[in-house]
Structure 1
Amino acid sequence: MLLCAAHLGGVDNVQARDRARSTKFDNPGIVAPLPPRRPVELTLGRPEQASTPTARTTPAPAEPEGLIGPPACFATFFERGGIALPAASESGSGACTIAEPVTFRAISMPDGSKTELDSAITVTCAFAVEILDWVREDLPGIVAREDGKLTRLAGVGGHACRPRNGVAGAQISEHATGNALDLFGLRLADGRTVSLVATDTATRSLRESLKTSACARFRTVLGPGSDPSHKDHLHLDMRQRPRDYKICQWNIE
């Protein structure tokens, strides 16, 4: 009998609680808030996409073919005025492999003009950025002091799979890994070509300024007076040496 009484008591309590709930929620004066309507685009989408932002409808600009490697350097290349071409069909192998190669033949200048190269070169992206900075930031001011405007880099050379100075058995050249540039001269808008290996006094001041600029920018500068292999052109590279040692050998005559 005690169990039955307890049971009846429990039933009475449940019924009382239900009556209280009914009284509370059946009162017409109380309106329960409704959740906001579900957006149509989310209702029609897959459940796993409901909480994600709508996908971008405008396609991203296509990158030139042949850019290989992390995109950070290539973004910098484009920001600094680089105009990339499809990569060369052969960008090296083995000891002559180029890391993150980029091929270009023109540079967009700060004033909106373009400086062209005699021929397209393929170098590492990091070295390409160094070239762009030098051409865009240093060369225009140096040439302007001689009442000129830069339009072209003459006698350029980039990747070349060969030993240093072309000597068989010598250490591999920085050109082999796309870390070097050869340059003969600068062509100006008025038709003049300033040879970097000239001996005329008319361009001496300009060449001295170019040497100061190049030696501040690059880790290796070899020109006339350094060795027989560089008597007729300027060699620039970013070879890293112990204790950040740099070489600047270019006799201005």
Structure 2
Amino acid sequence: MRIVWITLLIPFVLAASDVPGVVPLPVEKPEQTAAEDAPSREKAVDKKDTAKEQTAPEPSEPVDPPPPAPDEAALAACEAQLKALGTVFKRQDAVDGPGICGLPASYSVDEIVRGISVAPTTQMRCRTVLATARWIDEVVIPAAKVLGDDVRLTGIRQASTYVCRTRNSQPGAKISEHARGNAVDVRQFEFDGHDPMPIQPQQRKGSPEEAFQKAVRAGACLHFTTVLGPGSDAFHDDHLHMDLAQRRSGYRLCQ
């Protein structure tokens, strides 16, 4: 009888000994895990880049400052001196050019000094008008006497006053004094009793006309800080450029 019970219990004992205490979980292969994670990481990077693109500030446009407020006291003093010289002028509104171009108050001139016209219409600062008027009164009128006792200056033709451009209109050059209303280009003098005299290269023949042009050009540097004309460079063979550029130690460029 014992033998029968032992025989019946053997299968159950063997079955119990084959069952492990902890069931092992399947192990993932490293290659498979890395491959499955890669797309999710790429999506995360894409989302970050997209967020940066959406939040990145757009570049701001260059600031175009308005012209500075005019110094009314200085303008009043300048205008008083112009009136004493007989200048016929009109104050215009400020010129608001692009970038740093422009001037706080613009002046158009009909007569630079009494009886001497200016054409065409000008746009200059008051101090530029005053420098031009003093030059005409103190230098040009007396120099015209070399042309004859009966010769009288009646007008000047200007080629340029205010214009927003670089020096000599060259790309990449510094801003011109014309862009600030500080310059005037004189192309021709007109007379009663003599033919009009354009600014041009001289032949050094010792003529009264050459003496006149040389005198007014040299005398301009008493009133302007820059004077350029024929022979200075290829850009100034047909006019006198005069401006009020400020330089260190009061240096004046006279060529």
Same fold (TM over 0.5): yes
> How far does the alpha carbon of each residue in 1:115-162 deviate from its partner, in whole angstroms, 9 at most, with x for none?
111211111111111111111222111001211210010243210111
Between 69-78 and 126-135, the greater mean CA deviation after superposition: 69-78
Structure 2 residue 86 is the aligned partner of structure 1 residue 85: no
Letter in structure 2 aligned against 1:120: T
- What residue is the counterpart of 1:168 in the other structure? 171
Select between 183-192 and 194-203 the one with higher mean Cα deviation: 194-203
Decide whether aligned partners of structure 1 residues 108 and 218 sit closer, same or farther in structure 2, where only a CA change above 3 A counts: closer
What secondary structure is seen at the aligned counterpart in 2 of 1:235? strand
> Do 2:91 and 2:105's aligned partners in 1 also have CA atoms closer than 8 Å?
no
The alignment status of 1:248 with 2:254, answered yes or no, reads yes
Q: Structure 1 runs of 4+ off > 6 angstroms?
A: none
With over 3 angstroms needed to count, the CA separation of the structure-2 counterparts of 1:216 and 1:73, relative to structure 1, is closer
Specify every segment of 5 or more residues in structure 1 that has no aligned partner in the other structure, as ranges.
Answer: 1-67
Q: Distance in 2 between matches of 1:88 and 1:228?
A: 34
Pairwise CA distance, 1:230: 1.0
1:195 aligns to 2:201 (yes or no): no
Out of 235, 238, 249, the residue aligned to residue 232 of structure 1 is 238
Residue by residue over 1:29-85, the C-alpha shift from the partner in whole angstroms, topping out at 9 and shown as x without a partner, is xxxxxxxxxxxxxxxxxxxxxxxxxxxxxxxxxxxxxxx641222222222222113
What is the aligned length? 179
Q: Name the CA distance, whole Å, in 1 between partners of 2:237 and 2:142.
A: 26
Query: Matched residue of 1:184: which SS?
Result: strand
**Sequence identity (%):** 28
Q: SS in structure 1 opposite 2:254? A: strand
Deviation of the 1:90 alpha carbon: 4.6
TM-score, L = length of structure 2: 0.64
TM-score, scaled to structure 1? 0.65
Amino acid of the structure 2 residue aligned with 1:158 = T
Q: Which has the higher helix share?
A: 2
SS in 2 for 1:95: coil
Matched, 1:99 2:104: yes
How far apart in 1 are the matches of 2:103 and 2:95? 10
1:171 to partner: Cα distance: 0.7
Match for 1:72 among 72, 77, 84? 77
- Is the 1:81–1:132 Cα contact (8 Å) retained in structure 2? no
**Structure 2 counterpart SS, 1:156:** strand
**1:80-128 superposed Cα distances (whole Å, 9 cap, x missing partner):** 222113527856354112133211121333xxxx111121111111111
Q: Does 1:141 align with 2:147?
A: no
After superposition, residues 19-38 of structure 1 pair within 5 angstroms as: none
Secondary structure of the structure 1 residue equivalent to 2:103:
coil
Judge conservation of contact 1:152–1:187 (CA < 8 Å) in 2: yes
Of 223, 226, 229 in structure 2, the residue corresponding to residue 220 of structure 1 is: 226
Tell me, in whole angstroms, the C-alpha distance in 1 between the residues paired with 2:77 and 2:253: 29
Partner of 1:50: none
RMSD of Structure 2 on Structure 1 (CA): 2.2
Change (3 A) 1:86 1:216: closer
Q: Residue by residue, what CA displacement relative to the aligned partner does 1:151-178 show, whole Å, maximum 9, x if unpaired?
A: 0102432101111110122111000000
